[in-house]
Structure 1
Amino acid sequence: MPVLHTPTSTPTSTPASIPTPVQRLCTALLAAALLLGTAGAATATPVTAAATPTAATADEPGWTAEPAAGGAAPTRPYFYLAGPAGTVLEDRLALTNTSDRERTVTLRGADAYNAADGALAVRPPTPAAGGSQSGAAPGAGSWISFGTAATVKIPPRTRAVVPFTVTLPPAALPGDHPAAVIATADDHEAGVRVHLRVGGPTLAALTVEDVSVRGKGARAVVAYTLVNRGNVALAPELALRAEGLFGEVPGRTSRALPLELLPGQRVSLTEPWPGAPVLDDVALTLTVTAPGAAPATATASAWFVPWGIAGGVGAGLLGLGGVVLAALLLVRGRRARGGPPAEEEPVPAGNRAPEHELTGASR
């Protein structure tokens, strides 16, 4: 399958019309205004060349990669391919060189996966032929082949359409196999997502684990882990319910999470909880749902204590206890020296009552 090069269209110039007397008058007035503005700006501080902003396109790669248009879908944000195990699927990638120089683009397939925070990522190139990518077993990225068109030279202002194939192994498991097509040129990479599904039974299943509360007040968050235990990608929704000692605590209504959880992937996320109580013992229930999957729930408990106030009260109680202990020690010290009690007046010796001997017999 050859690479098709198509020059991109460039604007053509139109012959200029002859100006009318009114247009010449307007042009003269505009030129006079510009001259006056230039004369007034002559006293301003000059701007050096280093201070002038660069063009907005200076950091752009000068080329793009996207699915080639065709059929009923003139534009596609990604590739979608499906078929039974053991078949070969075909599609085309469009590379457009928008710059004024030739570009050399290298193409490859890559496995897609969820990063720890849920973002989609792709694995780096295979270090050696037949080796695994980043220590993982080769996935759907290794099924993608560009044949002899793995390196493409694109002339200036030209679009190249590059065909590729996806060979599904006979032993490929049913379900979704996330992958991507990666184009590299001039130290810049562009990826196009490939939604690939192998025919057969599908299962949507997920669990939520490791629920805990971090922070307090308006900065409190609920940390949790989502695990896709099925064979299809999921779009999860989350709801948070909290029950305190005095009734239900405001939680979070159900909302869609901004991620796509791929099969077999595990992600660690946090959910803001601005309605967390200040003082309460709360039981949390986290519920996650996804189309086609049974709801997954997990519970946790958390104490909310205003440690600033609690610390002040504790310090006050500790200080009061110190005063009481000092008073007790002072009274005990006076008694040990043989003196009378601190608040008891001494009795004259002649007025003291006679001491009795305790014999057990009454008198």
Structure 2
Amino acid sequence: MTTRVSALARLTAALAAALLLASPTAAFAEGENAVTWSVQPSTPQGPDDRTEFDYTVAPGATISDWVAISNFSSRPATFRVHAADATTDYNTAAFTLIGADQASVDAGAWTSVDSAAAVCADTNDAAERACAAGLGVTITLEPGSRADVPFTVTVPHDATPGDHAAGIVASFQSEAVDSTGSAVSVEQRVGTRIYLRVEGALLPKLALTGLVSGYDGSWNPFGGGTGRIGFDVANTGNMRLTATPAVHLTGPFGTDFGTVTLDPVTDVLPGGVAHVEALFADVPPLMLLFADITLAAAPASGVAAAQDAAPAVLTESTVAWAVPWSLLGTIAVLGGGTGTWFWWRRRSRQLLGFELAAFAEQIRTEERINRGASAPEHESETAR
């Protein structure tokens, strides 16, 4: 169903898009023909107060729902609306979706938008990528209009218990010019989340893996450096979890550099891994640093997660070398310079001794020559 969007709503969305470009419910394509649109949960009559889709169902269940696509632009725009599997971004720990040319195999593959195809054959080749790029439905919205689009989630009878995640996406394709002046096609995607829990045995479980420690020294031989403690937060269970990491850093003889409590890693999906790093500034190079890591988990947000139990607190330890390279280098330079000076001084004395000995020998030789030259003359005078 397509309806008109009020001018006030259009202005509000445009401002939201300009201020919150990373928002999951607004997007903005720059240029004279700017396109601004949103994706949000809806009903046949229009959007409701939900911010995401959150379901708890039994294996084999079918869910029917609606999603609203709104065009807040002053020009018509065509969107491809489809579902895609969700994952946890390794570098940012953010909820993200697989690429537009990747075929879904989990909740995204279970979700059909307006009865369109949602699954591609698993061939792992160009044919699969082309299929994935064509899934879903294409809709064209007039300026200021909205389409309420039905979709169906068909949960397999053998679906694994626990949490599954996906997103319904409206993608807009436009042309742009790259740094070389060549025309390129740009696809921008805006979506809303689907959290789906399949009933059955639940296992809340996290793991601390991939510990990496290091120390970045200062050029100042007497200054402190930066201690770096990195690790991966891996969800090895079947429930979405939020984790709060903390790192306590110490040095030799009980030197305490304090504790860094990092921002919570929210909604880590089952099978997801997020990399986290703690930084400690102004740490003196004491040769060794000892880091104790704790990871406190909590249930994720959402309707189903409200009653979840959290796993026990995890702890791990690691050691980092904090070698005072600048100081050692300075000592080496000074030591080398001092040693060179002493060597040069000793060598100079030796050379001076050699020169004096040679000069003395030269004088003695000249004296012998002079005595030898005067001896015959003296003998001749004596004979007369």
Q: Shorter-chain TM-score category?
A: 0.5 to 0.7
Amino acid at match of 2:199: G
Which stretch of structure 1 is more off in the superposition, 107-116 or 145-154? 145-154
Q: TM-score, normalised by structure 2?
A: 0.64
Q: Distance in 1 between matches of 2:190 and 2:323?
A: 50
Are 2:176 and 1:156 aligned?
no
Amino acid at match of 1:310: L
| Matching residue within 327, 330, 346 for 1:312 | 330
Amino acid at match of 2:257: P
Are 2:313 and 1:295 aligned?
yes
Change in CA separation of 1:60 and 1:290 when aligned onto 2, cut-off 3 Å: farther
Are 2:73 and 1:99 aligned?
yes
Map 1:7-156; keep pairs closer than 5 Å. Answer: 7-9=4-6, 60-68=34-42, 74-117=48-91, 118-125=93-100, 132=103, 138-148=105-115, 150-156=137-143
| Matching residue within 138, 149, 169 for 2:156 | 169
Deviation string 1:116-158 (CA, Å, 9 cap, x unpaired) is 202332112456xxxx45xxxx121111101346233333322
DSSP-derived class of the 1:235 partner = strand
Tell me what 2:233 maps to: 226
Which stretch of structure 1 is more off in the superposition, 108-117 or 214-223? 214-223
Amino acid at match of 2:316: A
Change in CA separation of 1:141 and 1:332 when aligned onto 2, cut-off 3 Å: same
Amino acid at match of 2:5: T
Tell me what 2:192 maps to: 192
CA contact (8 A) 1:251 1:275 kept: no
CA contact (8 A) 2:163 2:270 kept: yes
Are 2:166 and 1:179 aligned?
yes
More helix by share: 2
Change in CA separation of 1:281 and 1:261 when aligned onto 2, cut-off 3 Å: same
Amino acid at match of 1:124: G
Tell me what 1:348 maps to: none
> In the comparison of the two structures, how many residue pairs are matched?
285
Map 1:241-260; keep pairs closer than 5 Å. Answer: 241-260=248-267
Q: Distance in 2 between matches of 1:218 and 1:309?
A: 12
Change in CA separation of 1:294 and 1:65 when aligned onto 2, cut-off 3 Å: same
Change in CA separation of 1:151 and 1:276 when aligned onto 2, cut-off 3 Å: same
Q: What's the % identity of the aligned pairs?
A: 27
Q: Distance in 2 between matches of 1:334 and 1:159?
A: 99
DSSP-derived class of the 1:124 partner = coil
Change in CA separation of 1:75 and 1:335 when aligned onto 2, cut-off 3 Å: same
Query: What is the Cα deviation at residue 173 of structure 1?
Result: 0.6
Tell me what 1:24 maps to: none
Q: Distance in 2 between matches of 1:275 and 1:69?
A: 56
Q: Which consecutive unaligned segments of at least 5 residues does structure 2 have?
A: 9-29, 117-136, 175-187, 218-223, 299-309, 358-384
Q: Distance in 2 between matches of 1:126 and 1:169?
A: 24
Q: Which consecutive unaligned segments of at least 5 residues does structure 1 have?
A: 12-55, 340-363
RMSD: 3.3
CA contact (8 A) 2:208 2:232 kept: yes
Are 2:223 and 1:215 aligned?
no
Q: Distance in 1 between matches of 2:341 and 2:171?
A: 76
Q: TM-score, normalised by structure 1?
A: 0.68
Q: Distance in 2 between matches of 1:180 and 1:313?
A: 59
